[in-house]
Amino acid sequence: MNDLDHRFRQQKQSGQKIAALTAYDYPTARIVDEAGIDFILVGDSLGMVILGYPDTTSVTLEDMIRHTGAVARGAKLAPVIADLPIGTYGSPAQAVASARQLLAAGARGVKLEGGSALAPQIRALVEAGIPVLAHIGMLPQRVREEGGYKVKGGTLEEAGVIRDDAVAVQEAGAFAVVLEIISPGLAAEIGPTLQIPTIGIGSGEGCDGQILVLHDLVGLYPWFKPKFAKQRADTASAISGAVRDYVAAVRGDTGMTPP
């Protein structure tokens, strides 16, 4: 059992919820770290909120390495977990080779998308001493195949697959599992059946913890707002207002003193 496995199992057993967020650069990593977050995910969601792609499928391992390094330089307390991007873990050997590059950049562990079918990769990573955060339910790297972001687990067949996936990733050695956009009732049912924590995103409050994209939490990506994400700040408006004031001051449009 690795240190992350021990730490987060203990947190689950104590009943203390796990709070996690994404970060993609040094300053935001430092801010969320100093605010007491339990772990930071360098998500391949950076493809959308940082790089401007329509989804995560254009993100490369080189992108993840660069951003993981920046986040690791800002986080001194919370462990940094980095996503393995699409096409970098097709086999156990490839998964280990890719993950080692992320660890070299400063990650403490990696996340990969998939359940039972990915058990060999998870097992190989854990045997290589690399902590793994599993991810089941809605898989963003398959969004093009699935035709969008849809709630999973609404049918008996889907629910059965998700339950099997949760058990499979635990048995393979994952220290926790992300449940993305899963029917809340099913997510709440799965948690008590596992020894590892369930980390929900859009899967209701019945998980052992929650994770959000930081930009959704603080209103820094106003062009798309997930229904499940409660926005707790309006950073985009604050930045826009500051820029408008700056522009007006520079142009002499107001009585403000130019910077």
- Would the pLDDT of 1 be above 60? yes
Q: What is the pLDDT of residues 123-163, one digit of tens each?
A: 999 999 999 999 999 999 998 877 777 888 989 999 999 99
180 among known catalytic residues: yes
- Would the pLDDT of 258 be above 60? no
The answer to whether 7 touches 111, Cβ cutoff 8 Å, is: no
Q: CA 207 to CA 205: how far, in whole Å?
A: 6
pLDDT band at 224 (very low <50, low <70, confident <90, very high): confident
Q: What is the pLDDT of residues 61-101, one digit of tens each?
A: 999 999 999 999 999 999 999 999 999 999 999 999 999 99
Determine which helix (DSSP H) or strand (DSSP E) holds 39, and give its type and residue range. strand 39-42
The CA distances from residue 163 to 35, 41, 168, in Å, are 34, 24, 9
Candidates 171, 180, 189, 205; catalytic one: 180
Q: Against a cut of 0.85, is the pTM above it?
A: yes
What mean pLDDT is predicted for residues 46-66? 97
Most confident among 26-35, 148-157, 244-253 (mean pLDDT): 26-35
Q: Collapse the DSSP code of 235 into the 3-class scheme (helix H, G, I; strand E, B; otherwise coil) and give the result.
A: helix
- Would the pLDDT of 256 be above 90? no
pLDDT band at 225 (very low <50, low <70, confident <90, very high): confident
| 16-53 exposure pattern, b = at least 16 Cβ within 10 A, e = fewer | ebbbbbbbbbbebbbebbeeebbbbbbbbbbbbbbeee
Q: What is the pLDDT of residues 193-203, one digit of tens each?
A: 999 999 999 99
- Would the pLDDT of 18 be above 60? yes
Q: What are phi and psi of 209, to 5 degrees?
A: -170, 180
